[in-house]
């Protein structure tokens, strides 16, 4: 039986640039750095974002940008704060997709290695309710 997500790993060209991104934007706490040691596939660092274990490993950047992404939940009142953090690192905010009323708001941005992140204010329940109302309105 699956209990939860264990960890999320990102392969990045520059561990220090990604460390800065994780700590500035997500308030991540660095809990481990392999330094020059290699116990897995390459040099690595571990972080906690709240209770979420994020691993970064040195390697080649993604060649293409896609819509595959990792979304973190934030509150509506924090949208501006996170927008400023993203911009302070010189990262470009991607235009959000069209949304239904009540679905929540999102900030999308790519990191330095073409990983897409989303900061989202809504919940699964709100999204499903919005979809249900949209279907009902069409009838």
Residues 93, 87: contact at Cβ < 8 Å? yes
Count other C-beta atoms under 10 Å from residue 24's C-beta.
14
Tell me the two tokens of residue 23: 């700590």
E-strand stretches of the chain: 8-12, 29-33, 44-49, 52-58, 69-73, 93-94, 106-110, 116-120
Instruction: Supply the pLDDT for residue 23.
Output: 97
Q: Do domains 1-60 and 61-139 have the same CATH topology?
A: yes
Residue 78 CA to residue 82 CA, distance in Å, equals 6
Question: What confidence score (pLDDT) does residue 2 get?
Answer: 66
CA distances from 36 to 10, 42, 44, 47 (A): 18, 9, 9, 18
- Residue 107 φ/ψ, nearest 5 degrees: -115, 125
Q: Give the alpha-carbon dihedral of 21, 25, 27, 33, to 10 degrees.
A: -10
Residue 14, pLDDT score: 96
Enumerate the domain spans of the chain: 1-60, 61-139
Q: Are 54 and 70 in contact (CB under 8 A)?
A: no
Mean pLDDT for each consecutive 10-residue tract of the chain (139 residues)?
A: 85 96 96 86 93 95 91 93 95 81 86 94 85 78
pLDDT tens per residue, range 65-91: 898 999 999 999 999 999 999 999 999
Q: How far apart are CA 98 and CA 1, in angstroms?
A: 36
pTM for the whole structure: 0.85
92 among known catalytic residues = no
User: Is 1-60 a domain of CATH 3.10.180.10?
Assistant: yes
Catalytic residue among 16, 30, 36, 44: 44
What's the CATH number for 61-139?
3.10.180.10
């Amino acid at each position: 039986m699956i209990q939860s997500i264990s960890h999320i790993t990102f392969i990045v060209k520059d561990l220090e640039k990604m460390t800065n991104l994780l700590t500035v934007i997500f308030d991540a706490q660095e809990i481990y750095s392999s330094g020059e040691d290699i116990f897995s596939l390459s040099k690595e660092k571990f972080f906690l974002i709240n209770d979420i274990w994020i691993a970064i490993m040195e390697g080649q950047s993604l060649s293409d940008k896609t819509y595959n992404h990792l979304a973190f939940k934030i509150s509506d009142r924090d949208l501006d704060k996170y927008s400023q953090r993203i911009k302070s690192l010189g990262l470009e905010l991607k235009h959000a997709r069209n949304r239904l009323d009540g679905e929540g708001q999102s900030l999308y941005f790519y990191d330095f290695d073409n990983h897409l992140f989303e900061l989202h204010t809504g919940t699964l329940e709100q999204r499903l309710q919005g979809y249900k109302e949209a279907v009902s309105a069409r009838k």
